[in-house]
Amino acid sequence: MSHFAVSQIAVTVPVSSDLSIRRSAFKGFNLNFRDKSWAPVFSLDLKAKNSGRRNHNVICMSVQQASVPKVAVSPLELENATEPPLNLHKPKEPYTATIVSVERLVGPKAPGETCHIVIDHGGNVPYWEGQSYGVIPPGENPKKPGAPHNVRLYSIASTRYGDFFDGKTASLCVRRAVYYDPETGKEDPSKNGVCSNFLCNSKPGDKIQVTGPSGKIMLLPEDDPNATHIMIATGTGVAPYRGYLRRMFMESVPKFKFGGLAWLFLGVANSDSLLYDDEFTKYLNDYPNNFRYDRALSREQQNKNGGKMYVQDKIEEYSDEIFKLLDNGAHIYFCGLKGMMPGIQGTLKRVAEERGESWEEKLSLLKKNKQWHVEVY
């Protein structure tokens, strides 16, 4: 069973191996990424005729906002390991998991399609925040007839407890890779991304071959619960940060009480392309002293020079503050397409030189102190 605590009231939602029940529980709590109703909040009767009752309800709402209820998670044994799980399931012996749900994350004006995919691993492929799963799409490898496809890696977009808070699911954030012929401008399905289309086309109950988990570079350091974490993402690179932030702000984890600063920079094309925006906006409202959130919308905003606003332009806006935080031990993370890094590195180098510092020396020190975390693809 999963317990959702709201102020003084606890709600129990059945979490079963029956996927239909689990999906209905998921929907029952409106964990919807396009609206602001994902939190387990009760609607209060503000139309009551008794004015005293109305005042009481308003007070209840303010108490609820002040206390910011967190969700109970299980099994807490997932906190006991001192080392992250690694490569429990290898490509030659993948784990057969089950698709729970596939949901489109972006609005109609977003270029391309990005999906949130929940996978039931039954507790058999545990992972830590910041790790990746490998997925082997069905069919044979065209370059090696008779052999399976190569493994595709996807950053996990949930905490170790998953979106049902029961330790049995993992979520992926996947953009459908579509190829358009440069001459005709038409889609060529034969060149589309095999794995991303398999995942985005999958239906609840479908089977999926999973490997891993893998990766240590993006693990969330938890030795100092009051540390600063600066997270920079383009597009689906936001996946690991969703896991971090749910652990920091949504889940009630006895061993990890976050009291530091989490600062997210997210670069996407336009407002319709924003991913998990309602979750992040809620943290901003509930934890204004612990969370900052800056969006770079390249097709809707302009940088100071009148060009498109990319994530590196947002970083430059706050460069003095970012450099001071790094000097004080902040961790900085980069996740997304590898094409994001030259522009970001160029901006950081220029800012460092303007401050009379050597970027090469600073970068070397950040890496030495394990403050610099990069996962690009």
Annotated binding site for NADP(+): 155, 175, 236, 298-299, 308, 336-337, 375
- Rounded to whole angstroms, the Cα distance separating 70 from 165 reads 11
Q: How far, CA to CA in Å, does 66 sit from each of 7, 62, 124, 285, 287?
A: 9, 6, 37, 10, 10
Comparing CA positions, the residue from 249, 213, 209, 210 lying closest to residue 229 is: 249
Residue type present at position 236? T
- 154 assigned to active site: yes
Tokens 């929940």 — which residue? 118
Considering the candidates 155, 202, 273, 319, report the single residue annotated as catalytic. Answer: 155
Distances (CA, A) of 24 to 107, 294, 299, 306: 23, 33, 37, 47
Q: Are 307 and 207 in contact (CB under 8 A)?
A: no
Q: What dihedral angle (degrees, nearest 10) is formed by the CA atoms of 26, 28, 32, 35?
A: -170
The span from the first CA to the last CA of the chain, in angstroms, equals: 37
Q: Residues within the annotated binding site?
A: 155, 175, 236, 298-299, 308, 336-337, 375
Catalytic status, residue 375: yes
Beta bridge partners of 6: 9
155 labelled catalytic: yes
Among 95, 127, 133, 154, which one carries the catalytic annotation? 154
* Active site (catalytic) residues: 154-155, 335, 375, 377
